[in-house]
Structure 1
Amino acid sequence: MTTARDLFTIALDAEPEHSVGQGDLSLSLAGAELVDLLRAEAIGLDEELIVPGLQSDLDDRLLDAAASALVRQAPYENVEDWLWRRGRDLAAAYQGVFEEDGLLTRARRGRLSFGAERMELVDSPARRSAQSRWQEDEPVLGALAAAVGIRRGEGHRDDAASGDEAVTTVLAAVNDAVMELEAVRQRRSIENAAFANVWRVP
């Protein structure tokens, strides 16, 4: 399982009070893919620029799709731009692949809502592997989940100490992007409320 797949699994397993928005999750999934590509040495970072490495089979179709989406000629893409470009509708893409792989089922009561559909995970080795990684306080998975509002219970660490400068750069960019998305939401909410108030003035 990749970090991105584990993150998607944890998001679906989250308690109802920790429901995750598709936009936030998509940004964090794009960051998780970068972490996986870094660990596979498929990319490197030159400060915040994503420098592609050798192309190889990564044994995961979503990660292969991420690698294929890299800008492979200078000027290279920076991490922030990647998050917004790759992250567009990425949660829905993971949902589709999980359904195709038999890891998700449609249910009346689910953890993550995609429109009118509610989905829940089936019991599988992949799910148990993600849960085990989560319980082991793996710092990168914890940081990516925390960025979208999912935190571990008492007695667990919630730090982002990865010990890798490139990974730390990616995690910081994910946090910034999620905060920027929330700021956009709040601004739109204020604008919509102000517009609605105009029509209430006698």
Structure 2
Amino acid sequence: MTTARDLALVILSLPPDRTVERGDLSLALAGAEAIDLLEAGALTLDGDRMVPGPEPATGDRLLDQAATALVGREPYETVEDWLWRRGSGLAGVYAKELEGAGLIAPSTGRGLRPRTSRSAPADTPQLRRAAERQASGEPVLAALTSVLRIGDTPPDHHENPDGDAITKVVGAVGDTVTELRAVRLRRDVEDAAFDNIWRGY
């Protein structure tokens, strides 16, 4: 299992009162893929630029797709640009993949919603491994779940993952998620203001 799959399993197994926005999860999953590619030697960072390396067969279909999707020419792509591009709709892709593998129950409502543990297949090895990884406080998964405000500590107080490149990716995930939340908040405020104007007529 990859970091991205572990993250998806952790988030999609949350109880209904602990929700994560689809866009936030998509950005975090793209970051998790970048970290997995760094650890596989398929990617290095030159500053904030993502430089592809060899494309090893990782044994994971979605991670192999991510490796193939890396921009292979200079000036290469920044981590932030990668998160926005690769992350587009990625939460739904992972949900469908995990549903197809029987690791989570199919979604029954609109959109992508976290599920209770009762609605996921009970005690699968993959789900158990992801939960154990989260419970152990493993730095990479802890950092990503903290960015999503799911971890037990605030994002600024978790242990830094090993490696400058991984730390840069996690930082970029935090920045893009914060930016997306700001856009979402601004849109909600504008929508509320528009509704108020119409109520005045």
* 1:164 paired to 2:163: yes
1:49 and 1:114, CA in 2 relative to 1: closer, same or farther beyond 3 A? farther
RMSD: 1.9
Cα distance between partner residues in 2 of 1:140 and 1:98: 21
Q: Please give the secondary structure, in 1, of the residue aligned with 2:44.
A: strand
Q: Does the Cα contact within 8 Å between 1:27 and 1:178 map onto a contact in 2?
A: yes
* 1:176 paired to 2:150: no
Using the size of structure 1 for normalisation, the TM-score is: 0.90
The 5-angstrom pairing of residues 106-121 of structure 1 reads 106=106, 115=111, 120-121=119-120
* 1:146 paired to 2:142: no
Q: Does the Cα contact within 8 Å between 2:42 and 2:54 map onto a contact in 1?
A: yes
Percent identical: 47
For residues 5-52 of structure 1, give each alpha carbon's deviation from its aligned partner in whole angstroms, at most 9, with x where no partner exists.
000011022233321111000000000000000000100000100000
1:164 and 1:53, CA in 2 relative to 1: closer, same or farther beyond 3 A? same
* 1:44 paired to 2:44: yes
Cα distance between partner residues in 1 of 2:113 and 2:127: 20
Q: Does the Cα contact within 8 Å between 2:20 and 2:114 map onto a contact in 1?
A: no
- 1:187 maps to which residue? 186
Looking at secondary structure, tell me which structure has more strand per residue: 1
- 2:76 maps to which residue? 76
Q: Please give the secondary structure, in 2, of the residue aligned with 1:16.
A: coil
Q: Does the Cα contact within 8 Å between 2:11 and 2:114 map onto a contact in 1?
A: no
1:54 and 1:107, CA in 2 relative to 1: closer, same or farther beyond 3 A? closer
Cα distance between partner residues in 1 of 2:106 and 2:184: 28
Ranges in structure 2 where 5+ consecutive residues have no aligned partner: none
Q: Which runs of 4+ in 1 moved over 4 A?
A: 116-119
Q: Does the Cα contact within 8 Å between 2:146 and 2:158 map onto a contact in 1?
A: no
For residues 113-153 of structure 1, give each alpha carbon's deviation from its aligned partner in whole angstroms, at most 9, with x where no partner exists.
65287754213111111111111110110110111110238
Cα distance between partner residues in 1 of 2:21 and 2:179: 14
Ranges in structure 1 where 5+ consecutive residues have no aligned partner: none
Cα distance between partner residues in 2 of 1:150 and 1:195: 32
Using the size of structure 2 for normalisation, the TM-score is: 0.90
1:114 and 1:131, CA in 2 relative to 1: closer, same or farther beyond 3 A? farther
Q: Which amino acid aligns with 1:191?
A: E
- 2:129 maps to which residue? 129
User: How many Å apart are 1:2 and its aligned residue?
Assistant: 0.4
- 2:197 maps to which residue? 198
